[in-house]
Each structure stands twice: as structure tokens, then as C-alpha cells.
Chains A and B, each alone.
Chain A
Amino acid sequence: MAALSIRTLSKRYANLEVLKGIDLDIESGEFTVLVGPSGCGKSTLLNIVAGLDRPSAGTIEIGGRVVNDIPPKDRDIAMVFQSYALYPSMTVRQNITFGMECRHVPKIEQEKAVTNVAKLLQIEPLLGRKPSQLSGGQRQRVAMGRALVRNPLLFLFDEPLSNLDAKLRVEMRMEIKRLHQRIGATIVYVTHDQIEAMTMATRIAVMHQGSVQQFADPDTVYRYPANLFVARFMGSPPMNTMPARLEAENGSLVVIIGAGRPDEVRLRLKGYDAAAPFVGREVVFGIRPECIAEGSRAFSGDAPVLVNAPVEMVEPTGAETMVLLRLGGEPAMARISPDIRPAPGASASFALDTRRICLFDPETERLIA
């Protein structure tokens, strides 16, 4: 059953079109992450789903019921905010029970629900405290407790981890994911952090300039980005993209970077038949940093593809060494073994994983193959 269906939804403020015909179908039990740079409309979309903002056109269905004209409290949703939005004058317990109090749930049931949620989130010792006496992570837990206690059809998370420090963010990320696996809730989660999207989502909707660029599972989004925006947004560092030329040679496709230069790079492609119409034309060549490695690395498959490339800069991170090199004159980041430190200014041999190359149409910026 579709827990949430969004149909041709648009939103405009005066002359500014914030959302342009959004269509999304979210299945029950899915963890959907709406990800995009700030200003892409993801938070507006979430607010419209919650009923805190009205769409200019289009419909929203929650659990098979059109909710356009239903107020937030009757939509059977719960929301967790970036600022936690705890009621400052109430204790943790009162924060959690406030919604039930508004719905006139009997006191005994409220008590039972609070006990369950507090146990689930391990916030029992905090129930008597005020939000000002809690740390950021504890506030986040309480905010989640307030959402969980409602047991709604749909959970909405609006950048819930953005205010936490890096370490806590990773912890809470795992915790939210664990929670999702445990209670099987349907979650729509907004973030600008593509790592959060990759790690938590069962499906990712990448948004940009008011429309959904790609809606797919994390692996697909990462491996087959629908267009250049997605390719450059997902992944850190992002996919290397550079102009290239596609040629046919002895019946197979060859992509040439820096064609005509003495250091041009020619890569033979296999399984890229979809790109055949672009033979003899310019394309945008994309390769993830982890698909460029030190020359001794054997990417599984056929004979290794090796190129000699000048190294410009080396960034050791401990877990790996990031190398800025030039492929046919174009800058590219490579992710190589941590114990290998090529000398900047010299040339080194690099292995390329040519099975994971992406080719984009330079005009439409769409993925060709």
C-alpha cells in the first residue's frame, strides 16, 4: 500500500516557483530521504505533506486518503524538527504526552505510552527534566519520542541531525536507522547531507530547483546517477566529470579525454552499447574517485586499465590517500591506498575501473550509459 502519494504537486510564492510538479509514491515501511542543496524545495515539500503549508496545485494522499484539506493534527503524521522544537516550559514527560493530552487520551494510556517510548529510546531518567537541562542528543531523542508515541502512519523528519556535532550525528544516524528496522515505520526524511541519504535511505529522492532529479534506491543513485547534477551532488568527493569524445574503434566504443593532446587518455568501453548514437560526438565523461586507484590495484574483471598521469596534489586522510591528478589535462580526484603517497609534480601509474564509467549527454546533462 502506498503510504504517501504526491501527485503533480507545485508550490509558488508570488513569482517564485518553489516546487514544480512533484510526483512521488512512497510505499509503506520505506525510509525515503529527500536530499538536495539548500533552497531545492525539500523542506517546503515536507511542510506541505505535514499540512503546515498549502500546495498551489496537486494532491497529497496519506494512507490512501486525500489530505489536502485536512489539518495537520488529523493527517496521522508525526514530525521531528531540526531545532527539536521541544516545548521549553514543559518537562520531557509533558512534551511527550502533550499531543495525547490534546487528543484527550485517558491518563492511564498516556502513562503506558510514555513508559514504552521512554524505554525504547532509553530516556527514562530524563522524563522529569526540562528541555534546557538536556544535551543536544538527548533533546533529539525526546523529539523522536514525541513523534513515536503517536504511532502514526507517516514519520516526517526535517533535517533532524543538522544541529548535532559530527560524532553524535553518526551515532544518531545509526540509531534512527535501527529504529526504522525495528518498528518498520514509514519515514520521509529531509536532509542536505548526501551521506545521511546514502546510509539511511531505502530510497532516495534527489531534489534540485524544485523538482525531483532521481528517485531510486541508494545504489542506483550512486552507480547510475540520472544526470550530472545527481552525479556531482552524491558522493564525497563527488564524481569526476570532464568533457570527452566518443569514438568507435574495431567495433568497440572508445572514450577519449583530451583528444589530440600528447597526453590524451583513450579508454575502451565494454557494455556501453546505449552510447552508440553518440559516436563521433562530445560527451561528458564521469568517473568516481574510488574508480581511480594506484597502478597495482586490480579491479576485478579483465586486464587492468592503466594510465600514466601527472600528480598535482596529495591529501592523506589516514584511511586513504586522495590524489588530484590530470587525466588528459582534466583534473580528477583519485582515492588510493593510504600507504601510497605519489610525489606531487611527478607522474604515476593509475588503475581505472572502466566498468563503472558514466557517460552524460552534454546538452541535456542526462545519463547516456
Chain B
Amino acid sequence: MTDAVSTATRAGRPVISDVVGRLPEYLMIWVPLLLSAAHLISFSLWTIWISFTPSTLVPVSGWVGLRNYTAVLASRNWQIAFDNLLLFGSAFVLLSLLTGLLLAILLDQRIRGENVLRSIFLYPLAVSFVVTGTVWSWLLNPGIGIQKLVHDLGWTSFRFDWLVDRDMAIWTIVIAAIWQSSGFAMALFLAGLRSVDADIIKAAQIDGAGPFRLYRRVILPTLWPITVTVIVVQLQFAISAFDLVRALTNGGPGIATQLPALVVYDLMFQRSQLGRGAAAAVLMLLILLAVLLPYAAWRYIQRRQAGHA
């Protein structure tokens, strides 16, 4: 078979057996690629179209201009969701970055059992967001979770009821999200720390840099390309966060932990306002692009500089 293929190709005349022999490759690569591209593009376009129509329960044609957008942007639901996104997004990204970096630095000290610890810290990533959300909703539930445990230990004045506290509930999502994804940041940072030339660290030792100065002046500055990548990936998650919030607080108490994806879901499937839901979805896409486009530009510039150097 292989021989037949190579002979045919060499002769410059692709024969049937050539195509048949490569059929599995074509099927494996092109079919999924076309399917997913078609899904992504066609449904994005579909959603954009819907957002300009007066659709409610079912899609209808028609043109309402930006009416859906103004309605969504004016709604209290969206405003709270957007404020929450700013708070959740920045707190989550910053804290998971710091947690991941700290874990990576600690793991990088040539400690025993590093492999086990690394797996433990990475493991939450393998858990579905719904599971994370559900488990944390139990843990944070004052009646059955951590507060109850501490009460049962005898410390009855202990209060940890952020889950049902209007002002603090958003932080429970931050906590659960950090638990879930700081392992990812850790893995990337650890790879970055490991790629620092050992001679550089030796040189810094001879120069007399203590551990603090060594990290601050020599090692951490080399990590910033990784930091940008981690921030972008985490922001992407923050912007499109749905399942975690749905399982943990479902936007509550009230609409205190509303996030854009929940607003979309709410509008589309619970209030039967397809047009407005689509408009909210397009707004989410724009927020996402506001993160991804600068990142793509940055990557492009970096690559060009690397090409010149």
C-alpha cells in the first residue's frame, strides 16, 4: 500500500489508490474542521442577524435596528452583570495569577513529591465547572458547609455566609473559579520557571542576589510573555463564565451575581426574548474581541520582532 502510494506520487499521477489510502486522513482532519467552522461561523452570523430582528419566542424576520441593543444595555440586569464581570474578571484573573505564580515558585524549589503535588493542583482543571460549582455551593452553604463545620467544632460565633450575602456572593464565584483554574496558571508558570537558564541563576548567586532579589529582578521579568497568555486565557473564561455561576449561585441572591452569559440564557430561554438575548450574546462577543484582538496584535508584533532579531 505504502509503496503503491509513493510510486504513484513520484510519477506525478495521483491514482485512485492514492486518494483512498489518504481517505482516513482527509476524514479525520477536514470533516471536524469544516463542521466546527460551519457551526461557529453560521451560528455567529445567525445570532447577529437575530439580534436585529423583533424575534421573541421564535425567530422571525424583520428589522428593528439597534432597539434590542439599547433595551439590553438599559436593563438593570445587564448593568449588574457588566459590573459583576468587571469585578469578577479582574479579581479572578489577578488572584488566580498570583496563586498560580506562588504555587509554581514553591513547587520549583526542588521539593520532594513534586509530581504528586503538581497533579493535585492541576486536578481541578479536569473537573467540570458544574461539578465545581455544585461542590462549592455545598461547601459555602452556611447550613451544611464550612460554617456548619466550624460551628460543630464549637466556635459558634463564626460566620461565613458570603453565598447568601448580596455584597459578597460574587466573591464565592471568585473563590471557586480560582480553585478551579489556578492550577492552569501554575503549570504555565512552572514551565516558564523551568526554562530559565540555570547558569543565569548561578550568575545571580555569584553576584550576591538573595532569593527575593533573584526572583524580582532576574526570574520574574522573564515570565511576562507567559503572564500575558495566562491573563488572556483566564479573561476569556471569565467573560464567558456560565456553568460555574449557574451551578454555584444561579445569579443569586436575587440578581446579585448576574453575569453576561446568564443574562443571555435568561433572555433567550426563560423570558422568550430571542432578539434581546441575541443582542446580549453579540455584546459578549464584542467584549471578548476587545480582549482577543489586542492579544493577537501583540503576538503579531512579538513574532515580527523575533523574526528581525
A residues near B, CB below 8 A?
Answer: 47, 50-52, 71-74, 77-79, 81-90, 98-99, 102-103, 132-133, 146
Instruction: For B199, give its contact among A72, A74, A82, A146 (CB under 8 Å).
Output: A82
List, sorted by A's number, 11 A–B pairs whose CB atoms are closer than 8 Å: A52-B205, A71-B205, A73-B205, A79-B206, A81-B202, A87-B203, A89-B222, A90-B217, A98-B207, A99-B208, A132-B309
B residues near A, CB below 8 A?
Answer: 197, 199-200, 202-210, 213, 217-218, 221-222, 309
Closest Cβ of chain A to B228, distance in Å, is 15
Given A89-B218, A89-B221, A99:B200 Cβ within 8 A: no
Closest Cβ of chain A to B304, distance in Å, is 14
Q: Known contacts A87-B200, A103-B208; can you find 14 more A-B pairs with CB under 8 A?
A: A50-B206, A72-B206, A72-B208, A77-B206, A85-B199, A85-B202, A87-B204, A87-B218, A89-B217, A98-B209, A99-B206, A99-B207, A102-B208, A102-B210
CB–CB B208/A73 < 8 A? yes
Q: How many A-B residue contacts, CB cutoff 8 Å? A: 68
CB–CB B209/A102 < 8 A? yes
Instruction: For A85, give its contact among B200, B208, B213 (CB under 8 Å).
Output: B200
State A84–B203 Cα separation when bound (angstroms).
Answer: 9
CB–CB B208/A87 < 8 A? no
State A74–B199 Cα separation when bound (angstroms).
Answer: 18
Residue on A nearest B203 in the bound complex, by CB:
A85
Across the A-B interface, give the 3 residue pairs with the lowest CB-CB distance, nearest first. A89-B221, A73-B208, A99-B207
Chain A residues within an 8 Å CB radius of B205: 51-52, 71-73
Chain B residues within an 8 Å CB radius of A89: 217-218, 221-222
State A87–B202 Cα separation when bound (angstroms).
Answer: 11
State A86–B222 Cα separation when bound (angstroms).
Answer: 12
Given A102-B209, A102-B213, A81:B218 Cβ within 8 A: no
CB–CB A79/B222 < 8 A? no
Closest Cβ of chain A to B141, distance in Å, is 46
CB–CB A88/B221 < 8 A? yes
State A88–B197 Cα separation when bound (angstroms).
Answer: 10
Closest Cβ of chain B to A25, distance in Å, is 23
State A85–B221 Cα separation when bound (angstroms).
Answer: 15
Chain A residues within an 8 Å CB radius of B309: 132-133
Chain A residues within an 8 Å CB radius of B200: 85-88
Closest Cβ of chain A to B200, distance in Å, is 5
Closest Cβ of chain A to B299, distance in Å, is 17
